[in-house]
Structure formats: C-alpha cells, structure tokens
Amino acid sequence: MALIVSGIGVSRGIAIGNVHLLNRGSAPEVFERKLEEHEVASEVERFQGAVAEATNQLRGIRDTIPEDAPKDVASFIDSHILMVKDSMLRKVPIEIIQEQLCNAEWALKQQLDKVVSVFEQMEDAYLRTRINDVEHVINLIQQILKDQQFTVQMKSQPLKGSIIVADDLTPADTVVMQNQNIAGFITEQGGPLSHTAILARSLGIPAVVGIQRARSLLQQEEKIIIDGADGMVLAGIDENTIKKYRQKQREQKDARRKLNSLRNISAKTRDGQRISLQANIELAEDVNALKLSGADGVGLYRTEFLYIDRDVPADEAEQYSAYRKVVRTLKGKPLTIRTLDLGAEKEFDPDYQGPLTQNPALGLRAIRRSLKDTELFIQQLRAILRASAFGPVRILLPMITSYIELVQSLSLLDQAKRELKSEGYDYDPDILVGAMIEVPAAALSATIFAKQLDFFSIGTNDLIQYTLAIDRIDDQVNYLYDPLHPAVLKLIHLTLQAGRKAKIPVAMCGEMAGDPRYTRLLLGMGLREFSAHPSNLLEIKQIINRSKISELESPTKKILSTTVPAKIHPMVDALNE
C-alpha cells in the first residue's frame, strides 16, 4: 500500500533509493560523578584529550571536501572546529571540573545548558538555530568521552545510493555521507535554517526534515522516493511511480546544468524590466559565494556573529576591519549592513544568572536594544561609516516599529558622523539608510517611514510570524506559517505601494525572496529587488528572465483580492505554469 508522508523540504531534488536507518541516538546520557582532589588533574587531561580528538576528527572530515565544492561546505566544518577551540568549550569546562570536583561529562553538560539558555532568548530564528551547532560539537566531545563515536562508525557503513533516515544529522555527518554518495536523507528533527539543511542545499542532496517517527514509519531497505521541493516522502511505491520520478530527476538535472550559463547574464524580464538580485550573507567569507551566483551585491549582511559566542562584543576597530574586508571584496558592488539584531538583554554576559525576558519576541531586541545601549549602537554606526569610505555601503535598521525609533536612530547616526568628521575620518556623508519592514506596524506605517528613509527591505521571516502569531521553528505550530496568507500579502503590497509613492526602492531579504515558487507573484506585486541565499539566485534569475511583468499583473491582482488561503495556493501554482 502506498504511503505519503509530509515533512519540511529543505533541499530540492528527487531521490530514489533504499532506506538506511541510522540510529544516531540522542546526546549521550550524562551523570554527575564527584572527584577526589587527586583525580582532578587526570580528569582535566581526559577532557583535553577528547577535545583534541574532536578537533582531529573534524579536520579529517574537512580534508575530504573537494576543492571545487561550494565554499560554505568547508566553512560549516570550520565553524565547528572554531567552536571546539573557543574558550567556552575548551576552558570553561576545565574551570567547572576544578571548582566543582566533577567529571568532564557533567562539566560539559552544565556549560551546554548555560549556552542553550542564552540562545533560546534570541528571537532571530536563524540565530536561534545556531544552538544546534553548539550542541553538535558538545555531543561529539561527549561521544568521544564515552567512546560512542557515531560519525566515525558511519564511515564504515555501505551507504552508496541509500536514503538515510535518522533522528538528526550534523554537518560533519552530512559531509561524510556525501563522500559515500548517498541519494538523500530524511530526519525527524531540524528545520530549513539549520546548518545541516543549508549544507544539503549547497551539496545538492535532496532532503526532507521534521518527519516525526520517520524511523518507525519507514522500513530498512524498502525503496522510497523523496521530493525535497514539496517535502514529500513516498513509500510502498510501484514501478510506474518510480519511472515517473526518474523522468523528473533527469529533467531537474538538465535544468541545473543550464542554470550555470546564467551566471554572467543580467536578470531582466521579457518586457525589459531590470531586476536586482543580491545575496544574504552572515560572515565575511560568504562573499566568495557571490562569484558563483552572479549576485549584484549584498542585500543583507547580518552582523550578529561579531557579538555572539564571546564575553564582550567586537569593538569598533574589529567591526570596521570586518566590514572593510567585505566592501573591498565586493569591488564596487553595494553592501547593505544590518545593524545588531539580537533578542535578549544579557546574551553577551556568560556569567549572567538573573531572569531574562519571558517573551524575547516582544521584548528588548534589534533596534530597541540598540537605542537602549546607545554607546554600543554608535560604535557600530561609526564602524559602518568608516567602511563606507571604501565603497558603496547602506545601513539597514532592523525591527523599526514606530516613528520615534526612526528619528532616534537617524539622530544617533548624525552624531556618529559628527564625531568621525571631528576626528578626521573619511566616510560617505550621503550613506543610504533603510529600514527592515518585518512587523505589521512597520508595514502599516511604511508611508510615514518612507519620508525619512532611502529604501525599505522586507524581512518576510519575521513579518509572517508576527502577522500570524506563530513561531516558525516550533514543530507544534509551524504548519500555520504561510507566506501566502492574505494578511501577509496585503502587508507586503502596502509596503511596495509606499515605496513607489515615495520613489524609494523596496527590496525583500526574507526566505520568500529566495523561494522560486513566489518569484512571479512578487514580480506581479511590484518587487524589483530580491536578496536571498547565493545558492538560490540563479534559479530566481532564470524565472525572471522567462517572465513578462505585463502578463503577471492581472492574475496577481486577483490573488491579492482573494481572502481564502486555500484558494490562493492553486492560483499561485497556475501563475508559475
């Protein structure tokens, strides 16, 4: 009997193969063991040995990555290596062992609990999922301490052509499996923003995540099909179904080969409308991926990585150096730097023991935090301004909800300019300033905001979850996350209209901008600047170059006038035919 199971499609493509069940197991169970004074030194040595072994394993995996692989493949493993080297994992557990006279496993667990509590306060969904990487690294060290090394054991298993079904996978697991030529993977946990999901997309591995009880529903060695675009898993399949999906596989491979020819071609609709395609980046090193995507610049540079996982945030000099590096690498292409967007008041302080806000989504985050800690904010503004002397830079203010926040932010920017001028620093005096439209209040106030700003950037990730009052990485309610909800589309449309009226550009930097399913709809709504992950840009460009805006406007108006979500989805599907 045929079985169709739905999950979250995180990496497009079709995989056909036999199930290989992997019991990765949860984190090793940890118990506290009290030490005698004379045991402390040997326990510290045991911990240091496990850390060294974890580093060696990760370096060994990194060495297997081909030189022509996408840059972010190696960067994910590098980030784990850096975590192992970080004092929060290398030094703090040793201090706990020495102070509490406890075993290494218990010290690591305490440190993990502490770090998790910090990350859970972050409202930014992308940043919150970074705790998965910390957990992966700590669990690797725990496995070595307990001699339960899953990734090492996996290297010896025959996985070629298999579809892996597991509870969860780390980026290191994913690289190991790619080297063994797996067909695809399914996990019970995870989401589209995890490093494993991003890595799967970079490596072109079809993947579906978030299928609870997948290891119970699917049997070892049974032939299944996964469709990473639709998030579908088909089991109990017949030969006709297999034949149909093999044909789809061939068509998709041909389409991917053709995409590379678009790298140096502009994004322009059939009726001559030039569209700007820019990239979202998190680290300075991510700029290298722009060359492969043919991006017009950086539409969103997240700066949070200069602040998290450290005792104190980066100072002005360190920020300036990071921003200048990106500006120079872009060689004249524009760079849009988003100011600090973190979600809780005490996330920089690893020793903070007091209460954190009960609801960080509605608390002190993004521009609110910057306006409370003006010294920190001006420091970042100064660094951005100084970098603007080396190329085109734009400032993007996150989570603006009221006119007074905007006025205060611009006033502090003027203060930073005056300081730099008096100190003799060069900067762009006419630097462009924009705001993220990511809460309903901002979309509804866009006409007012537009009078004070040079551009807008719609952050659909937050706009959708604030509008629909759901947490998109919460497994219990993420099924309600719908970019095509009439209320969401109305807010996007209002923002685009406000931009046109004020004659300022409106970009979109959320996931919706990087999803090919919505490209034609957004064109029909009037969006002319897309910013997405570099790996998505060529496909978006292909759709744009095959589209004619004059043919999209009428059906788009009908979609915007439709009030029933269930009716909108098939209308958008028809728009894409």
Q: What is the pLDDT of residues 352-365, one digit of tens each?
A: 444 444 555 677 77
Contact 449, 406 (CB under 8 A): yes
Contact 507, 529 (CB under 8 A): yes
pTM of the predicted protein model: 0.71
For residue 414, pLDDT over 80 is answered with yes
- The CATH fold assigned to 264-575 is TIM Barrel (3.20.20)
Which residues are part of the catalytic machinery?
195, 509
Q: What is the pLDDT of residue 353?
A: 42
Which distant-in-sequence residues (6+ apart) come within 8 Å of 459 by Cβ? Answer: 398, 436, 437, 438, 509, 510
- What is the CATH superfamily name and number for domain 3-24+152-245? Phosphohistidine domain (3.50.30.10)
For residue 204, pLDDT over 90 is answered with no
CA 442 to chain centre: 23
Q: Percent of the chain, pLDDT > 70?
A: 88
Question: 46 pLDDT band (50/70/90 cuts)?
Answer: very high
Domains of the chain by residue range: 3-24+152-245, 37-147, 264-575
Name which of 117-131, 399-413, 479-493 the model is least confident about.
117-131
Average model confidence (pLDDT) across the chain: 86
Contact 343, 129 (CB under 8 A): no
Q: pLDDT tens-digit profile of 469-483?
A: 876 656 566 667 789
Name which of 311-320, 352-361, 488-497 the model is least confident about.
352-361
- Residue 112 burial (C-beta neighbours within 10 Å; 0-12, 13-18, 19+): buried
Q: What is the pLDDT of residue 149?
A: 59
| 533-554: average pLDDT | 93
Nearest CA among 536, 537, 551 for reference residue 267:
537
Q: pLDDT tens-digit profile of 442-473?
A: 999 999 999 999 999 999 988 998 999 876 65
For residue 348, pLDDT over 50 is answered with no
Q: For the chain, report the end-to-end CA distance as a whole number of angstroms.
A: 31
For residue 112, pLDDT over 70 is answered with yes
Contact 326, 115 (CB under 8 A): no
Q: Taking the domain 37-147, which CATH number applies? A: 1.10.274.10
Q: List the 232-235 sheet strands across, edge first.
A: 3-6, 232-235, 223-227, 14-22, 163-166, 184-187, 207-209, 8-11
Question: 351 pLDDT band (50/70/90 cuts)?
Answer: very low
Both tokens of 128, joined, read: 């919150």
Nearest CA among 107, 114, 106 for reference residue 93:
107
Q: pLDDT tens-digit profile of 421-430?
A: 999 999 999 9
> Which of 411-420, 457-466, 529-538 is the most confident on average?
411-420
Contact 264, 422 (CB under 8 A): no
d(CA 212, CA 326): 41
